Structure 1
Amino acid sequence: ALRSALLSAYKKHFGSSENVTIDISPDTGRLKVLAKKKVVKEIEDPGIEIEKEAARKIKKGVRLNQEIEVEITPREFGRIAVQTAKQVVTQRIREAEREKIYQEYKEREGDIVTGIVQRSEHKTVIVTLGKIEAILPVREQIFGEDYRYGDRIKTYILSVRRTPRGPQIILSRTHPGLVRRLFELEVPEVYEKIVEIKNIAREAGGRTKIAVSSKDANVDPVGSCVGTRGARVNSIIQELRGEKIDIIPYNEDAVAFVSSALKPAQVQEVIVHKEEGGMEVIVPKDKLSLAIGRKGQNVRLAAKLTGWKIDLKSPEEKALEEKTKIKLTELPGVGAKSAQVLEEAGFKNVVDIAQSKIEDLTKVKGIGKKSAEK
């Protein structure tokens, strides 16, 4: 790197360096600028040629058309070399510092870190982590959060990458990993892996559902995470600026797990469609909106947490669905031929017929008024 820098400096101050090399003595550190020159009878280009007599003073026995190295070190080159060497050393130190920072934070990807809000640039928040700066992009910010100068915030190290200007550390406040790390900080049983976080479903700034289990039968996983009078979970909620957190006991029984995940709503019945990876979940009519949640958030998070497609219904809706499954041929007075005619006319099931007017039915070929009234 130093030779290359010195060669560039020579070219900048003294012209072409195509046939020039830099020699540095490993013992004394003395610098020499050497040029490869061709041995000739008469010189046409002094930059690349040398007379035979002059060449023999440098190297005995040299012949015509041979190439030899001739020292051409300019007087001023010593001062230039010192300046260049300083620049190279400074650059090397800077690169080493950048690499050290990169390696340090690369190893910490996925960890939690506390930083201080410094400033905002085009909605990207700059956060200082000791002596270095990291960025909190808009997409990784919790909607509605206000980041002010001097605020101390906990963030998740999302990724670290090299750039021409040094390592870039990207932080996140929305990643589910932030919730996981906060529980590790607040709950000793989670940190010690007695209580295991099985899965997290999060809509940052709104609600998070977290499924937990215990490796120790004597340790209640939900109670450990909640803490006495909710102290532990409330500390995390405070750090997340009021984001709601539902702590769900993990269960190998999928029905029980899904039922718990839909809390605070109470589940009345669950019908599993294993091949489709879905469940029909029957909830009392007056609790249906609670199970769905605001803008569908509760059921959406429950599905994400459990990995099951969840179709919420009230008992009344389910009963109505069952009625629609009754074949038209099962109705009194409706044979196979009449059922076909009705289906062609748009009456696919019992509900279609029940909701239609008598005059609409009589318009169907072969259906008289008496049959329609039946």
Structure 2
Amino acid sequence: MSKELVSALVQLGAERGIDRESVLLAAEEAYGAALNRKHGSADIHVRLDPESGAMRVFRARRVVEEVLQPGAEWTVDEARGTKADAAVDDLVETEELSPEIGRIVAAQARQTLQARLVQIQRDSVMRSFAEKAGGIVTGVVARADRRNLVLDLGKAEGYLPATEQSTLDTFRIGENVRALLLEVRTTVRGPEIMLSRTHKDFVRKLFEIEAPEIGDGSVEIVGLARDPGSRTKITVLSRVPGLDAVGAVIGQRGSRVQAIVEELGGEKIDIIGHVDDAAEMIGRALSPAPVSSVVIDEATKTARIIVPERALSLAIGREGQNARLAARLTGYRIDIASDAPAAPEGGEEVAATATDESDAQPVGEA
């Protein structure tokens, strides 16, 4: 191999974002693999001089008491002819093959090297995306199979399945889409970049982008519960005296929260100021419904809520959504009843119970 060829390889690697050392190592492995195929062995390896391009070919044999694989093993006596202090299990190298590899072997090596550089580039790209897991990425819709989307992320493609889109999401080919990078996972087809727009952290990251106070730590998102495509409840707390956390997150004339609502296709967002008192926090979490009283049983993490009769359906929400999100937000099991007189014997008290620990945020630990 000539110095010019080494320079060309290094330049090719640079264009693919691969460092010099990785390119040279890949070249050594490619030429070593080609020589092993030629000689029907597995013990040949190559070293390249990065300055001159000179190639040196070595064979590495394991020292054993009894040779079972001729050409890959030798006895102690044979090994000591090359290395005086050779002992069993040592790997002894000999430079006994000519670096002149021939055109066929060179062509095989170049083919292997090209495939290896492509793999190195792919692995590097996937590592860079894996480091972005938990953040928001933007891509262009490249392909769609029903509602399953493939996004062009620039150096790679991301997969946004229908199950990770809300019912409000509708996208067309060529449209820009923002999503949360969930993970880079290994599949039978190779690594895949998995995206989501339904994960609650998607909303959290959107707020970090829209509200600088959250990004710099002045305002903290204490809890977040989400029913994708319908409603999100979020509790915030100021870490700076005099700073209105709710106002900072909402923005002037609601500009910040409205930008997120539009990104989510119209999903409703309730922003609630966090307090340490559990009863008050639970009452706030049930907004926009007014609450008459809250009785908490800390032993069972249960809260019994009394609301005006006219507000019972509002407190419970459609299909129990408001109560369910409040339970997720506070970490309490919630029972809701109206302040109407007790139902006659044989009647039924109207109540709602909601509990879901998956999004629970302990109250009183801000």
Deviations 1:124-183 (A, max 9, x none): 210011132111122211124222101111110100134565532111100111111111
> Which residue in 2 is equivalent to 1:284?
308
Matches for 1:1-374 after TM superposition, within 5 Å: 1-3=29-31, 5-7=33-35, 9-10=37-38, 17=40, 29=54, 78-121=102-145, 123-163=147-187, 166-316=190-340, 319-320=342-343, 351=345
Please state whether the residue corresponding to 1:145 is helix, strand or coil.
coil
- Quick check: 155-164 or 207-216, which moved more? 155-164
Cα contact 1:9–1:84 (8 A) shared by 2: no
Deviation at 1:7, TM superposition (A): 4.2
Name the amino acid aligned to 1:91. Answer: A
How much is the aligned-residue C-alpha RMSD, in angstroms?
3.2
Deviation at 1:5, TM superposition (A): 2.5
Deviation at 1:92, TM superposition (A): 2.4
Name the amino acid aligned to 2:257. Answer: V
> Which residue in 1 is equivalent to 2:75?
none
Change (3 A) 1:20 1:114: closer
Please state whether the residue corresponding to 2:115 is helix, strand or coil.
helix
Provide the TM-score with structure 1 as the length reference: 0.69
Between the aligned partners of 2:162 and 2:139, the Cα distance in structure 1 is: 17
- Quick check: 201-210 or 131-140, which moved more? 131-140
Larger Rg: 1
> Which 5+ residue runs of structure 2 have no aligned equivalent?
1-28, 62-69, 72-93, 349-366
Deviation at 1:18, TM superposition (A): 5.4
Between the aligned partners of 1:309 and 1:99, the Cα distance in structure 2 is: 46
4+ runs deviating over 3 angstroms = 18-34, 162-167
Between the aligned partners of 1:155 and 1:122, the Cα distance in structure 2 is: 18
Between the aligned partners of 1:273 and 1:33, the Cα distance in structure 2 is: 76
> Which residue in 2 is equivalent to 1:358?
none
Cα contact 1:222–1:248 (8 A) shared by 2: yes
Between the aligned partners of 2:110 and 2:296, the Cα distance in structure 1 is: 73
Deviation at 1:201, TM superposition (A): 0.2
Between the aligned partners of 2:259 and 2:168, the Cα distance in structure 1 is: 19
Between the aligned partners of 2:35 and 2:332, the Cα distance in structure 1 is: 66
Between the aligned partners of 1:137 and 1:19, the Cα distance in structure 2 is: 44
Change (3 A) 1:260 1:25: closer
Between the aligned partners of 2:175 and 2:31, the Cα distance in structure 1 is: 48
Deviations 1:247-296 (A, max 9, x none): 01111100000000100100001111211110110011110000011111
Please state whether the residue corresponding to 1:248 is helix, strand or coil.
strand
Identical aligned residues as a percent = 39
Please state whether the residue corresponding to 1:91 is helix, strand or coil.
helix
Cα contact 2:159–2:193 (8 A) shared by 1: yes
Deviation at 1:88, TM superposition (A): 2.3
Provide the TM-score with structure 2 as the length reference: 0.70
Deviation at 1:28, TM superposition (A): 7.3
Between the aligned partners of 2:46 and 2:298, the Cα distance in structure 1 is: 76
Between the aligned partners of 2:158 and 2:266, the Cα distance in structure 1 is: 25
> Which 5+ residue runs of structure 1 have no aligned equivalent?
12-16, 37-46, 49-68, 324-350, 356-374
Number of matched pairs: 289
